[in-house]
Homo-oligomer: A and B are copies of this chain.
């Protein structure tokens, strides 16, 4: 009859996510004074190379004002730079600086260590089942969200052809 709160999935998911987030936060917060959105933006750039703010919004499901502020903060910390698209000047291509890459390298190692610690005691099957289930719940595509490539010169990180070529 009565509702069982600890088993209610949105609640349970949030509890687990908050636990993991708060613990991992110690890494980027204490060491680099970063906020959660800043960490996410940095990791997107570290993992996928040059992206626009819009692409990050879409890939990470973060509102554009949050991304805008995170980008400004990371720029002030000299972890990323902006480059205006030569064809469509509304787009700004963001990429990590050398310092940004160093932070990403360091934090991604810390992330792997933390994840290993978090998952200690779970079997590999448990983990892959969990990931699979969470991907479905979050409605994230399996394939890497490789975004549209840059069309501007010097975009070595985006070797694929551009939507805007030949226009």
What is A's interface to B at a CB cutoff of 8 Å? 2-21, 23-24, 40, 43-44, 46-47, 61, 104, 108, 111-112, 114-115, 118-119, 121-122, 126, 129-131, 133-140, 144-145
CA of A136 to CA of B126 in the docked complex: distance in angstroms? 12
Q: Hey, which chain B residues are within 8 Å of A114, CB to CB?
A: 10
Minimal Cβ-Cβ distance residue in B for A145: B6
Asked, given contacts A3-B46, A15-B61, A19-B138, whether A115 binds B145 with beta carbons under 8 Å apart, the answer is no
Q: Hey, which chain B residues are within 8 Å of A131, CB to CB?
A: 7, 9, 12
Distance to closest chain B CB from A5 (angstroms): 5
CA of A11 to CA of B14 in the docked complex: distance in angstroms? 12
Cross-chain contact B9 with A138 (CB below 8 angstroms)? no
Cross-chain contact B5 with A43 (CB below 8 angstroms)? yes
Minimal Cβ-Cβ distance residue in B for A10: B20
Across the A-B interface, the 3 shortest Cβ-Cβ residue pairs: A3-B108, A17-B17, A15-B138
Option from B3, B12, B23, B133 in Cβ contact (under 8 Å) with A112:
B3
Q: Hey, which chain B residues are within 8 Å of A115, CB to CB?
A: 8-10
Asked, given contacts A3-B43, A5-B44, A126-B133, whether A21 binds B10 with beta carbons under 8 Å apart, the answer is yes
Most buried by B among A7, A129, A145: A7
Minimal Cβ-Cβ distance residue in B for A47: B5
Distance to closest chain B CB from A156 (angstroms): 16
Q: Hey, which chain B residues are within 8 Å of A47, CB to CB?
A: 2-5
Cross-chain contact A122 with B111 (CB below 8 angstroms)? no
